[in-house]
Structure 1
């Protein structure tokens, strides 16, 4: 059994401020270690459930965050960004049994995490078929495009609630909850134990049904903080202005939405 892990940091247990997610800040090394430890816990849970191979995409910011010498020997790790539309899911393919998400965070436009955002801080909201979307929204639909179920997510309470609504039966571990600029978090050791056990349970369950519902047609609206970014994005082929700070794009295949976002969000 092959398992894919997409690893972010802003939903890691204990995190509370942007400095802790910034590789150029003195706060970062501690949370780099905590991010890595949660990934290792997920790997151990997958192994206990029978995974023979685990592929981890380092999916935060530079794509070069994980302490790779701490990863188990059966892991392959994907670092940096190739520019592929799969983005945080790059490396996924149809022969994987499941996708797992660690360190995930709430979507832009919500207050469930002081670090809530979608893709980058230039975007105020991402709206897919009329609903405000998260990075998990896009990534779970990406996985479904390969026929891969989304089995488990660890992150803040907001993203876990969104994941349960989108993918019935998905396993979750709520690492923290946001209150304005503050967070209430599990102790990291407790979070890691819950992730390890949660992944093992999730992979032993029925996986085939853990798919988001696909739509026959998709419209994505990207609302930007700055109208300058909206103007620039409007030049993507097929994109159109959608108000003073927003651009819309439509397609029948979700991969075309991913391709548009790859360029409109850069």
Structure 2
């Protein structure tokens, strides 16, 4: 912005100098040509095309479109979803609400699903285009293959186990399991496993989370990580899915 203003002011100054005759004669040809602006980047700006890419639907997964009942809400009528997609597979089923300005075309013969929006020039619709497509892709993968999160406990004496009972928290549903952490606290840390998530400990320092809904699995992994975030001096903490951290030099006084 400042560069453009400087060039415009310099151009006006040169034109006034030419009119007044104070500009040297040998500099007159250089200022007679129009000023050309040059951008810092050599590549043209492009928008993401994630929303328009097709989604492959496996043969064991079925998509069912459901019409939702309409509820009148003042000021938000244009954002209330009118259609939902029920994604059903061998591992379970999930339901995704579709914004009213997003259309989903499902080709059962080619096993493809393509999303489109009413006006791609509107920023809100363009943003929700890619978000809806990513959510539908995660649902299709979840009901067919499932999502996993692997947590690694790094530290002296850090241990984890999965228990059927807990002493500090109450179960939220019948048969709920609890993840018990030993990460340097004097009191036990017990976290209830959310419904639809399976937790196991193949090693004392490894926690494996499996589930159909990716958001639920990753949210529970983030809650476990909150108890011991990776610190940059000794490299201790709870790491999620191969997470790495750059170590810092120790402070020497």
Q: Which TM-score tier does this pair reach, normalised by the shorter chain?
A: under 0.3
Greater RCO, 1 or 2 (C-alpha within 8 Å, sep 6+): 1
Q: Considering only CA atoms, is the larger Rg found in Structure 1 or Structure 2?
A: 2
Structure with bigger helix share is 1
Task: Give the TM-score normalised by structure 1.
Answer: 0.20
